[in-house]
Amino acid sequence: MTQNVTISKITNPAGVSVTDVTQTEKTEFEKILDDDIDNAYLNNTEFAKSIKYFHEGLQEWHVYNVIFDDPHASVALGGGEEFNSLRPQFLVAQKDLETRIFKNDRCIISGTEYIVDDYVADGVGVMTVYLRLR
């Protein structure tokens, strides 16, 4: 379990107060998981790509390694029916964004600008960020 946790309140651009959690010491398992996420899963020489991300709350651009899902997916439902989705999304290390992400943050992926529409953490260190075209 993480030790020495600092909890404070920050205000996002919409004026909403949110909780900011800063972890200062991690367990050995958390360190191994972070290392695996950074060096295997989100290693931009293998699977991931670097994106530019603008934090509205910080008013700063940052670069993150993410796995960008093709914004168009088609799934056959059977009986000749097909479901199409145009919701782009990316996966990112939760530790990179979890306390600083807000809806309406911006990012640039392969020259296309998107806005954060929603996000959800999977509980094991990876966050899915849902986007819409700007």
**How many Å apart are CA 94 and CA 109, to the nearest integer?**
18
Angstrom distance (rounded) from CA 61 to CA 83: 35
All structural domains of the chain with their residue ranges: 3-133
Write down the pTM of the prediction: 0.63
CATH architecture under which domain 3-133 falls? Beta Barrel (2.40)
Please, are residues 114 and 132 in contact by the beta-carbon 8 Å criterion?
yes
What does the pLDDT look like over 90-101, one tens digit per residue? 989 888 886 788
The pLDDT tens digits for 25-59 are 777 777 766 666 666 666 656 777 899 999 998 89
CA distance 64 to 38: 10
Element containing residue 5 per DSSP (H, E):
strand 3-11
C-beta separation of 129 from 90 below 8 A: yes
